[in-house]
Amino acid sequence: MAEQQKSGMAAAAERPLRSYGRTSTHHDLSIIYEGRTEEIPTRVPDVGPRGMFINTSRSFPEGAVLKVQFRLTRSGYLVNARAEVRYCLPDVGIGVEFVEISEEAQRAIEYELDAARRP
């Protein structure tokens, strides 16, 4: 277990810095592991236009594809995307990159991030 945590932390330290800020201004997150039907328990993550970190105790292999859906708080925009797991921190969560997301959804997330930064 400790080895898994160390390798997860090492992977987190090796990933590139984010090119966009992140925020947690959304709700109603649901994720589905493609090819499976069970619901995956999650807690509110942080999101950026290119990906998100999802707090979950469930482990996923790097490269796993997930269907992600959530609603942005300010605009109410419903985001639907396919995302690929880039790293997993055991018992903490997963970092995913959107691999299929509309430009409109990316713009809505950027707008949400900008609005969250304003006083």
CATH of the domain at 11: 2.40.10.220
Nearest to 50 by CA among 95, 10, 15, 12: 95
Domain that holds residue 41: 2-117
The residue ranking higher by pLDDT, 66 or 7, is 66
Task: Quote the mean pLDDT of the chain.
Answer: 78
Average pLDDT score over residue span 53-79: 91
**So what's the pLDDT on residue 30?**
74
Residues 6+ positions from 53 with CB-CB distance below 8 Å: 22, 45, 46, 93, 94, 95, 96
Nearest to 26 by CA among 5, 54, 6, 3: 54
Q: How confident is the model at residue 15 (pLDDT cuts 50, 70, 90)?
A: very low
Domains contained in the chain, number: 1
The residue ranking higher by pLDDT, 30 or 18, is 30
Average pLDDT score over residue span 78-86: 96
